[in-house]
Amino acid sequence: MTRPTSRDVARAAGVSQATVSLVLGDKWTGRVSPRTADLVRSAAAELGYRPNLAARGLRLGTTRTALLVVPALTNEFFARVYTGAARVAAAHDFGVVLYPNPSPGGIGPARDPFASARTALDGVIASSMAVDALEAIKGADLPLVMLDSDPAAGGAAAYVNPAIADGIRRTTRHLVGLGHRHVLHLAADVDTWTFHVRALAVAEALAETPGTRLASTRAALTVDAARAATEAALTRRSAGSDRPTAIVCDDDILAAGACKAARRLGLRVPDDLSVTGFDDLALATAVEPELTTVALPAEQVGEHGMNALLAVLDGRTWDAPELPVELVVRGSTAAPPRTA
């Protein structure tokens, strides 16, 4: 059965399509008589006509749709961000379109999927890790909310940040409190603000205690890359006082790779080497021993991101503090070996 159109409704009611649009768009008062409005509504009901809300939104310049730009969804953190954003959006009769950056690894330039759809969006929420994908929609003049991004950089209408630096400082101080004085920072090989903040926070926290040393190495955000980078870093340093007794990792995936490297080198976690992660993914409790890590409020990040966009669209200023994080201490950290 062919779906009825506004033209069919106009023909059945004996009016123009413009009149149908006014009545069904609830803009008829003072322009169309009540009797004519009733005729249009009756004809639409008899035909089973439903207006195309998306098309109407395009004409009115709003579709109540937000775009969430994230790296590739191989990381559950961003799935949880989407869950939070979608929950708030649904409460405000908004939809959220998820756009994972399709470039390799979810990081780097992406092709433009929005050439014909820019006008179907009311605003954009984007992770700093997918910032290159934003090149695809530059010039669209859409309100932009950045997640986990540098507020000083400007260019966005609002920012939503978890307390990343605080989480790394807590992790580093936890290790120092256990007695560790030589720490390796396994950094994500990604040139974004959030990872620059982590590197700075590790150094600052260690500098608070005299006699500490910091080494660093970088790896792509995969378990295999982290394993290889950790093996190389630990092999370069002989056993004993020159070898780090703890590794601070930029996320749980890197930490899993660091644990694999330790096993391959004959080191026990945490007896010989303590390892910490970041994010508190499901992976953190899947490895043995379970990871000491920093739990990020991923769903709250999504919720605040959507609330920030709604505020901007409503002409209100969004100014919220960083979202608190939590250090979760598990079995992957302990006091350093006495030989150290």
pLDDT of amino acid 97 = 87
CA distances from 334 to 176, 215, 291 (A): 10, 19, 11
What number of other Cβ atoms are within 10 A of residue 131's Cβ? 19
For domain 6-51, give the fold: 434 Repressor (Amino-terminal Domain) (1.10.260)
SS3 of 340, please? coil
pLDDT digit string, tens, across residues 71-119: 766 678 999 999 999 999 999 888 898 887 654 444 544 444 454 344 4
User: Given the DSSP bridges, would you call strands 293-295 and 326-328 parallel, antiparallel or unpaired?
Assistant: antiparallel
pLDDT digit string, tens, across residues 152-178: 888 888 999 999 999 999 999 999 999
Q: In CATH, which of 1.10.1060.10, 1.10.730.10, 3.40.50.2300, 3.40.47.10 is domain 164-296? A: 3.40.50.2300
CA angle 218, 225, 149 (to 5 degrees): 50
Looking at the DSSP assignment, which residues form a beta bridge with residue 16? none
Longest dimension (CA), the chain: 93
Q: How far apart are CA 324 and CA 308, in angstroms?
A: 17
What are the residue ranges spanned by the domains of the chain?
A: 6-51, 61-162+299-323, 164-296
| Identical fold, 6-51 and 164-296 | no
Q: In CATH, which of 3.30.420.40, 3.30.70.260, 3.40.50.2300, 3.40.50.300 is domain 61-162+299-323? A: 3.40.50.2300
Peptide bond into 100 cis (omega under 30): no
